[in-house]
Each structure stands twice: as C-alpha cells, then as structure tokens.
Amino acid sequence: MATDILDVIRTKRDGGTLDDEQVRFFIEGYTAGTVADEQAAALCMAILLRDMAPAELASWTRAMIDSGERLDLSGVGRPTVDKHSTGGVGDKVSLVLAPLVAACGAAVPQLSGRGLGHTGGTLDKLEAIPGWRATLTTDEVVAQLRTVGAVICAASDTLCPADRKLYALRDVTATVEAIPLIASSIMAKKIAEGTDALVLDVKVGAGAFLPEHERARRLAETMVELGQAHGVRTVALITDMNAPLGRAAGNGLEVAESVEVLRGGGPPDLVGVTLALAREMLALAGLAVDPAEALGDGRALAVWDAMVRAQGGDPDAPLAEAAHRHTVTAPAGGYLRRLDARAVGVAAWRLGAGRSRKEDPVSPTAGAVCLRKPGDEVAAGEPVLELHVDDEARLPGALAALAAAIEVGPEPPTPRPLVVERIR
C-alpha cells in the first residue's frame, strides 16, 4: 500500500514508530512541497508529545541529510573536527575555538547560524567585523580549510534543505523544544558538512535553551548516539549557563572579547570552557597538542587573522561602538550571588543585539558588559552591568528585563563547575 501523509501523522499521534518508508515519504514530500505545512506541523507536534525511538530518529536524521548535498572534505589534508553549541548568553567560544584548534593542526569546518531570541548567533557576531562575509561557495570552504585550517560560515542552501523548512516551521508551531527534532536538526547539518569528528557543547542552566539538567543530558546522549550511528566520532560536554559566559553579550562586544582571549587574556570562565572543548576536539582528531600553548604563544591569533582576511574582513579595523552607555548598579552591598544569564540575554536582545524574526536586522554595537560576575564582592550602588545601545528608546525594555536579574547576599554563592558532565 502506498504511504499516505495522514497515515504517517496517525501512526505518530497514536504512539507508534514510523518505519523507514514513512520517514522518507514525509521528509522528501515536505522538502518538495507535496506535504503541506499544516500536515508537517501536526507531525511535529505528535513527535513532541510522543517522542521517537532511537532507530526511528536515526532514519529521520539520515533522510534529512539525504535531502541535500554532503560535503566531501577528504582532500583538505588535515583531520577534520567541528564543535556545536546549543546556545547561550555570551557564548562566543566558536570565535576562539576554530582558530585555536586549527593552530594545533586540525581543520575546523564550522557551518554556523544566526541568533534568535535571547541567544546570540556566531554569524551575527562576525559580521561586526568590517568587510567580513558569511557566504562562501563549497570550493571556497575547502580551499580555506586547506590554507588556513578554519572556516566559520553560513551553510549553503543545498545542505539539509529539509532542516531549513522544518526549523522555520517549528519556530512558529511551539515545537522547538522537541528533543528528537532538536537533535536531528543539529546532527543532520553537522554530519552533512562532512566532518570526521564532532564535539557538542550542551548548555544547561538559566540562560540555556534547556535549563533542566536531565533534559540537557538526554539531548546530549541523543546527539552522541546519532553521531556515532552515522560514522562521526562524537563527544558532548554539558557546560554551565546560569551566568553569562565571559563578560560581553552582544555582537561586536563579543568579537572584542574573543580577540582578547586569542591574545592570551580574557575572562577565566571563557578561557576554561574553550580549552576544555579544544582538548576534546584535538583528542578526537588524534592530535597530542596542548591548546593552551597555542593560545599563549600567538599561533591561534595568527590563524584568526588569516581566517578573517580570507573571508574579506579586516582583523585590524576598529569595531564600531554604541552611541550610549548606561550602568546597572548593585541594589545592596555584599556578594553577587546571581546574575541571571537569560535576563542579560533578553536585555541585550532588546537593546538591538538580537532578533525576534530571522529577517530582522541586528546591531553590531548593542549589548551588555558584565562588570561583576557571581562571587564578586560589590558595594551598594556599584556598577554591575554596562548596557551599550544606539537608540536610547530601547533602554526601558532592557532595564525591565533586568529588574530581578541581580541578587546580592552576605555570603558568596557556591562555585559551579564550568563542565558539568561529559557524554560519549
């Protein structure tokens, strides 16, 4: 009997498992436009409510990969390894990590995206650099991996087109949170990009997409299983996202902080997470190199400069600065016990650093700088955050987001580990 879209929806609605034929029928049909948006939305909601079995999800992910091209990176001359983060506030790790791991001998093909809501996008950050371009051809990607060792760019329209359609649909149908759909979306793109190995940075905490540890772990385990099932050596680190990572949240501000790390400085938490991920990537690539040395001796900075120049940017050009700054102060004296990451991310978004819809423009200058971090001692009225904004009319909304973000108490908070768990 020929597969029918209503049978596919009913199967999942009633708690059944989709077979390979049903999965391919849906993915191919939705990509081609023969399955309607409302039917795809119904199936996505059924998956959110009913979940997917491991074999079913592997089949779903394979069909997503097969909906477009798969890059061949076999000729780049180095072991290939990539990293993906589930997103957080101030998470500019990719900007440091790609040139750092390349400086240690690997090739890092990082196909990245744009921010939506309170989490920033890697491409938005890099576009704060004058002249830098996100769109490269496949030949340009391969050539840059051969010569520079690292590339951060947008995925082409021919890579996982099924995911592009499903991602947009999930965003407007309240099905973004479905772990099988998150896992397949991430892993289909990473597998299709042709990397040999992958390290996943799964954020957990107030500023993360999945604040609960159990759900973050389940996502990490699901993605690791998918990677291994498709022949990509995969490890996941679950890392803390209760406070912003580093001090800067905002596109140009995060580029400046990344360069500070590449020059051997930077906030300890950002450096710590970056090195932890770099060590995992290099181990998967089979390279016995200490990334801390490449960060300290200038090799990583040299690769950053080369990577930016290769994509039309000027790494020496000054970054634009916001027209206005506003400080948010401590409500009392004591220890800063909490600086809510999500609130800071929402504030940066409202200042102009983020977007509500994919087509919205973002400001390269807007954002927030954390002048103090949890554990620091503060005096009443001492600046804790510095807000950067071009349009002062945006300030009230940002300040409203921060109304309950700062907590001060007589005792310092219990320190949180940067790396909460390792999954492989």
Please compute, for residue 104, the number of CA atoms within 13 A of its CA located in the half-sphere on the CB side: 28
Residue 358 pLDDT exceeds 80: no
Active-site residue (options: 86, 112, 185, 195): 185
Q: Which residues have C-beta within 8 Å of that of residue 357, sequence separation ≥ 6? A: none
Taking the whole predicted model, whether its pTM rises above 0.85 is answered as yes
Active site (annotated) includes residue 163: no
Could you write out the DSSP letters of every residue in 190-205? Answer: HHHTT-SEEEEEEEES
Residue 75: exposed, middle, or buried by beta-carbon count in 10 A (0-12, 13-18, 19+)? exposed
The mean predicted confidence, pLDDT, of the chain is 94
Active site (annotated) includes residue 185: yes
Q: What is the pLDDT of residue 232?
A: 95
What percentage of residues in the chain have a pLDDT greater than 70? 98
From first CA to last CA, the distance across the chain in angstroms is: 41
Residues making up the chain, counted from first to last? 424
Active site (annotated) includes residue 12: no
Residue 224 pLDDT exceeds 80: yes
Separation between Cα atoms, residue 266 and residue 271, nearest integer Å: 7
Separation between Cα atoms, residue 70 and residue 191, nearest integer Å: 8
Q: What is the pLDDT of residue 361?
A: 83
Q: What is the pLDDT of residue 251?
A: 95
- Nearest alpha-carbon partner for 206 in 301, 341, 87: 341
Active-site residue (options: 190, 217, 233, 247): 190
Q: Which two tokens stand for residue 379?
A: 């005096």
- Nearest alpha-carbon partner for 339 in 265, 247, 253, 238: 247
367, β-bridge pairs = 388
Active-site residue (options: 83, 118, 217, 350): 83
The domains of the chain, with CATH numbers, are 5-50 (1.20.970.10), 81-310 (3.40.1030.10), 324-409 (3.90.1170.30)
Q: Residue 193 in 3-state DSSP? A: coil
Separation between Cα atoms, residue 19 and residue 58, nearest integer Å: 11
Mean pLDDT, residues 51-63: 95
Q: Are the CB atoms for 157 and 390 separated by under 8 Å?
A: no
Separation between Cα atoms, residue 205 and residue 195, nearest integer Å: 29
- Nearest alpha-carbon partner for 282 in 382, 201, 197: 197
Separation between Cα atoms, residue 280 and residue 292, nearest integer Å: 13
Q: Which two tokens stand for residue 326?
A: 């506003």
Active site (annotated) includes residue 189: yes
- Nearest alpha-carbon partner for 107 in 132, 140, 82, 126: 82
* Number of other residues whose CB lies within 10 A of the CB of residue 189: 22
Residue 259 pLDDT exceeds 80: yes
Mean pLDDT, residues 393-404: 96
Residue pointed to by tokens 């503060």: 378
Residue 1 pLDDT exceeds 50: no
Separation between Cα atoms, residue 165 and residue 119, nearest integer Å: 21
Active-site residue (options: 84, 92, 125, 233): 84
Separation between Cα atoms, residue 67 and residue 25, nearest integer Å: 11
Separation between Cα atoms, residue 154 and residue 132, nearest integer Å: 12
Q: Which two tokens stand for residue 353?
A: 């650093």
Separation between Cα atoms, residue 392 and residue 387, nearest integer Å: 10
Active-site residue (options: 82, 91, 240, 305): 82
For residue range 362-374, list pLDDT tens digits in order.
899 999 999 999 9
- Region of poorest pLDDT, from 113-122, 183-192, 193-202: 113-122
**Largest Cα–Cα distance in the chain?**
73
- Nearest alpha-carbon partner for 100 in 302, 322, 387: 302
Q: Which two tokens stand for residue 409?
A: 């108490």
Mean pLDDT, residues 326-332: 97
Residue pointed to by tokens 């071009």: 390
Mean pLDDT, residues 251-276: 97
Q: Which two tokens stand for residue 316?
A: 């020496």
Q: What is the pLDDT of residue 355?
A: 77
Mean pLDDT, residues 117-137: 89
The pLDDT-based confidence of 116 (bands split at 50, 70, 90) is low
The pLDDT-based confidence of 155 (bands split at 50, 70, 90) is confident
Active site (annotated) includes residue 84: yes
Active-site residue (options: 61, 85, 86, 184): 85
Separation between Cα atoms, residue 321 and residue 247, nearest integer Å: 16
The pLDDT-based confidence of 327 (bands split at 50, 70, 90) is very high
Active-site residue (options: 122, 175, 239, 258): 122
Mean pLDDT, residues 218-239: 96
The pLDDT-based confidence of 117 (bands split at 50, 70, 90) is low
* Number of other residues whose CB lies within 10 A of the CB of residue 411: 8
Mean pLDDT, residues 200-217: 93
The pLDDT-based confidence of 246 (bands split at 50, 70, 90) is very high
**Which one-letter DSSP state was computed for residue 328?**
E
